[in-house]
Amino acid sequence: MIKYKISAVSYLNTIPFIYGINQSDLGDKIELSLDYPSVCAQKLIENKVDIALVPIVVLKENPQFTIISSFCIGAKGKVDTVCLYSDVPLLEIEEIYLDYQSRTSVELLKILCREHWNVSPKFISSSEGFENKVEGKTAALIIGDRAFSANGNYKFVFDLSESWNEMTGLPFVFACWVSNKKIEDDFISEFNASLKTGVKNRVKAIEKESINYPHCLNPVEYLNHKISYNLDSEKRRGMDLFLREVTLNKQ
């Protein structure tokens, strides 16, 4: 029996997927690890896993990378957990720390700065603890569960998904399930069925796992109304537009 190695994001927004997988019969067919997004991506690129829930910018890395699921981590507007935090207005920001746990969100921020906000700050790579450096004209991009703690601590919060929607009229896809090799069709069907089960049972997933995510005060609101899980045609349009913008930004 083929045993597939899978890397999934370790944030609150992924627990419906993890719940569905754990409720399925996939246990003997997979090795599952939980990582932050950029590590998921690196594992897929380095062939350390076969399938990963990765930031969508990874699709630019290799034409053989294939989306294998109709489920994703997306948002149709404000998402609350991918934000730029600052103590001054946008036009006064001089430098921004870029979250080391992210790849797609970093590229999204750069696009918004260039095409939506018309600002040109200095971008600074970060390491653990960078969140504490937000002061004066220095801002920071913070993603994931750490954003729950950041919300309310700064004078200005710019939600990147909301800003993307304002600019394009489209939803945004942060991560999708991608493989780096041919995966058996039967496994893909079973895997997607498990994800569907998890998405349909978000409340049960929250009841089982939310104790591990104490910084989110209302996980039901977050998972039901901020995160959108279906990779539908509108999200694919948004994803395609974003990937084109990333290509232009690299030229």
Q: Checking DSSP bridges between strand 82-86 and strand 138-143, what pairing results, if any? A: antiparallel
Q: Cβ-count burial of 227 within 10 angstroms (0-12 exposed, 13-18 middle, 19+ buried)?
A: buried
Helices (H), 116-201: 146-150, 160-168, 185-200
Specify the pLDDT at position 103: 84
Q: For residue 206, give the 3-state DSSP assignment.
A: helix
The helix (run of H) or strand (run of E) holding residue 209 is helix 202-209
Q: For residue 225, give the 3-state DSSP assignment.
A: helix
Buried b / exposed e across 70-87, counting CB within 10 Å, b at 16+?
A: bbbbbbbbbbbbbbbbbb
pLDDT, tens digit, for every residue of 79-131?
999 999 999 999 999 999 999 888 899 999 999 999 999 999 999 988 777 87
Specify the pLDDT at position 111: 96
Specify the pLDDT at position 234: 97
Domains of the chain, with CATH numbers?
Answer: 4-75+173-233 (3.40.190.10), 82-168 (3.40.190.10)
Decide: 219 and 67 in contact? Cβ < 8 Å. no
Alpha-carbon distances, residue 53 vs 38, 134, 178 (angstroms): 10, 29, 6
Specify the pLDDT at position 150: 82
The residue type of 218 is N
Specify the pLDDT at position 64: 87
Q: What is the mean pLDDT of each run of 10 residues along the chain (251 residues)?
A: 88 94 93 92 95 93 91 96 94 93 90 95 86 88 86 90 97 97 95 97 87 77 94 97 82 50
Specify the pLDDT at position 151: 80
State how far the Cα of 178 lies from the Cα of 169, in Å rounded to an integer.
26
pLDDT, tens digit, for every residue of 130-149?
877 888 999 999 998 888 88
Alpha-carbon distances, residue 101 vs 1, 47, 49, 209, 229 (angstroms): 34, 19, 18, 22, 21
